[in-house]
């Protein structure tokens, strides 16, 4: 499962301002992630929630920022697998990672936990898919658990991430978003919500 610690040493993608295009939340290389894409994963009842960083500190997270972070990572992983000699993971490979991602929980419990925070059921699917792909890439690259081998694989993409300023800025070294207006001392968005 993706944690802040597992992503400590990651991608060397570029950090630039998001192109001023109406309706764009972010770009990963030439791939556009729209505001509508983000909204698909966040319900109208979603409110700010807290996460615990790997250092034990807590931070308030905007659900749209959190969802956008997953969409960016999903795009980076898809591009990484598309460029690999083996291509995208198969359904059976992803299913094999599911148990590790759920860590003893059920898919229904994951959906319940995320929808209780205001995310849509579709976000639970994205959450699971991203974590499964990350786990597979970790296995393929013999990552030791610190994320460095995964980061090295992703960094070969040369796919700069540009984020609309209302969501914050992309932190390439953490493979995550730093929320807009957050003090610089705050860690980047952790990828696993607190229970």
35-52 pLDDT per residue, tens: 999 999 999 888 888 877
Instruction: With respect to residue 4, please indicate whether it lies within any of the assigned structural domains.
Output: no
Domain that holds residue 142: 15-178
Question: Which pLDDT does position 1 carry in this prediction?
Answer: 52
Q: Are strands 15-17 and 161-163 parallel, antiparallel or unpaired?
A: parallel
Contact of 109 with 98, CB cutoff 8 Å = no
Give the mean pLDDT of the chain: 79
| Residue 17 predicted with pLDDT over 70 | no
Q: How close are the terminal C-alpha atoms of the chain, in Å? A: 15
Report the number of distinct structural domains present in the chain.
1
- 53 Cβ neighbours under 8 A, 6+ residues apart: 4, 59, 187, 190
Indicate whether 72 pLDDT > 60. Answer: yes
Domain assignment present for 93: yes
Would you place residue 148 in the very low, low, confident or very high pLDDT band (cuts 50, 70, 90)?
confident
Q: Does residue 10 lie in a domain region?
A: no
pLDDT 10s digits, 132-147 = 999 999 888 888 887 7
Say yes or no to pLDDT of 25 above 90.
yes
Q: pTM for this structure?
A: 0.78
- CA distances, 152 to each of 98, 118, 191 (Å): 24, 34, 19
User: What is the predicted pLDDT for the residue at 28?
Assistant: 93
Q: pLDDT band at residue 119, thresholds of 50, 70 and 90?
A: very high
| Residue 36 confidence (pLDDT) | 95
């Amino acid at each position: 499962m993706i944690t802040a610690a597992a992503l400590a040493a990651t991608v060397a993608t570029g950090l630039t301002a998001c192109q001023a295009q109406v309706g764009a939340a972010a770009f990963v290389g030439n791939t556009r992630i729209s505001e509508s894409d983000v909204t698909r994963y966040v319900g109208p009842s979603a409110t700010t929630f807290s996460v615990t960083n790997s250092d034990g500190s807590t931070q308030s997270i905007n659900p749209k920022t959190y969802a956008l972070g997953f969409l960016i990572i999903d795009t980076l992983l898809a591009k990484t697998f598309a460029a690999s000699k083996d291509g995208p993971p198969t359904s059976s490979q992803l299913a094999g990672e599911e148990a590790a991602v759920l860590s003893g929980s059920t898919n229904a419990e994951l959906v319940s936990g995320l929808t209780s925070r205001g995310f849509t059921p579709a976000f639970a699917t994205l959450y699971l898919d991203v974590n499964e792909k990350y786990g597979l890439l970790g296995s393929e690259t013999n990552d030791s658990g610190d994320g460095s081998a995964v980061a090295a694989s992703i960094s070969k993409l040369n796919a700069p991430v540009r984020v609309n300023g209302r969501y914050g800025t992309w932190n390439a070294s953490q493979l995550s978003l730093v929320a807009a207006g957050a003090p610089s001392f705050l860690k980047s968005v952790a990828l696993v919500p607190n229970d």
